[in-house]
Amino acid sequence: MSSGIRALETTYHFLFVGILIILGVMLFLCLLRACMGPTVADRLVSINMMGTMVMVIIATLAVMMGESYLVDICIIYAMISFLAVIVLSKVIMGVRKQEETEEVEPEKKQEEDIFDEMIEQESEEFHEKILQKEPDGEMLKEAFDEKQENGEREEA
Amino acid sequence: MEILLWIRFILGTLFLLAGMMLFVVEIISVYKLDYVLNRMHAAATGDTFGIGLSLTGLMILNGLNLTTLKLLLIVVFLWCSSPVSSHLIAKLEVATHEGEDRYGKVEK
């Protein structure tokens, strides 16, 4: 009875050690892939894979040693690696977008100037129409200007 | 009683080795495929399915504990977070267009 249980324990030990060795080799291969990768997205993919493998290693260690607190570390590791991938991809995307907008910016400014001129012309036409329609529009305008001047004086 | 322990061991080992095999397939395909969006498919599959299988094996080996529930929490969290991070990396690749000259333009 006891000899059977002892055999089971040694088998467990060899299983866990073998799995840890396999995972360590694969972790090293992932690191090599991250160094080789030509693009940024490539490196991020392999770093994500490394995070997953480290999580499996920590969970295996927790079951092997019978320590429950290692699983908490595993949860925290999962959250931090997820956050790292999100932050890195967002930051790199933001930097690229900023570079693109800096290249395009002068054309945009010209467009804005044209738009402002169009708005000014339209408002002048509208003002003229109002003056034509109402006979005492000019009086009203003068009165409005005086009021504004008075208001400015009061403010001053 | 001892037979039950051995059955649990064999079942858990099968799940664990299946997860390891998925990780090995993931590594081979990441080295073999030649474009990021193809590699990402293999990597995301290994991340979600491989870690699900290997943590299920560890749960069976561990027995019914609070630790098992925490392992289940890790699996559920990874099933939610891994597709999101893969999606963000794909968007990054589409936005930067680094492989455009070699592999053609990516449709937005």
- Residues B40-89 have pLDDT tens digits of 888 888 888 889 999 999 999 888 888 899 999 999 999 899 889 989 88
Nearest to B25 by CA among B50, B62, B54, B52: B50
Question: Confidence class of residue A133 from pLDDT cuts 50, 70 and 90?
Answer: low
On the question of pLDDT at B105 being above 70, the answer is no
Question: Confidence class of residue A31 from pLDDT cuts 50, 70 and 90?
Answer: very high
On the question of pLDDT at A86 being above 70, the answer is yes
Question: Which 8-state DSSP code applies to residue B105?
Answer: P
Q: Which of A19-28, A34-43, A119-128, A135-144 has the highest mean pLDDT?
A: A19-28
Give me the residue spans of the domains in chain B: 2-96
Q: How far apart are CA B1 and CA B10, in angstroms?
A: 15
Whether A90 and chain B come into contact, CB under 8 Å, resolves to yes
Give the gap in angstroms from C-alpha B81 to the nearest C-alpha of chain A. Answer: 7
Helix (H, G, I), strand (E, B) or coil at B34: coil
Question: Confidence class of residue A107 from pLDDT cuts 50, 70 and 90?
Answer: low
Q: How far is CA B32 from CA A72, A143, B12, B28, B29, in A?
A: 35, 82, 30, 6, 5
Q: DSSP readout, B68-104?
A: HHHHHHHHHHHHHHHHHHHHHHHHHHHHH-TTHHHH-
Nearest to A34 by CA among A53, A18, A56, A58: A53
pLDDT at A120: 79
Whether A96 and chain B come into contact, CB under 8 Å, resolves to yes
Quick check: A59 and B71 CB within 8 A? Answer: yes
Give the gap in angstroms from C-alpha B3 to the nearest C-alpha of chain A. Answer: 10
pLDDT at A23: 92
For tokens 């933001």, name the residue. Answer: A94
Tell which B residues from 40 to 59 touch A, by Cβ distance under 8 Å. 40, 43, 46-47, 50-51, 54-55, 58
Whether A148 and chain B come into contact, CB under 8 Å, resolves to no
What value does the mean pLDDT of chain B take? 85
Contact predicate B73/A74, CB 8 Å: no
Q: How far apart are CA A119 and CA A69, in angstroms?
A: 67
CB half-sphere exposure, A93, CA atoms < 13 A: 16
Give the gap in angstroms from C-alpha B84 to the nearest C-alpha of chain A. Answer: 9
pLDDT at B24: 92
ipTM of this predicted complex?
0.88
Quick check: B36 and A42 CB within 8 A? Answer: yes
Question: Confidence class of residue B3 from pLDDT cuts 50, 70 and 90?
Answer: confident
Give the gap in angstroms from C-alpha A121 to the nearest C-alpha of chain B. Answer: 39
Q: How far apart are CA A102 and CA A97, in angstroms?
A: 9
3-state secondary structure chain A: CHHHHHHHHHHHHHHHHHHHHHHHHHHHHHHHHHHHCCCHHHHHHHHHHHHHHHHHHHHHHHHHHCCCHHHHHHHHHHHHHHHHHHHHHHHHHHHHHHHHHHHHHHHHHHHHHHHHHHHHHHHHHHHHHHHHHCCCHHHHHHHHHHHHHHHHHHHC
Quick check: A8 and B9 CB within 8 A? Answer: yes
Contact predicate B35/B103, CB 8 Å: yes
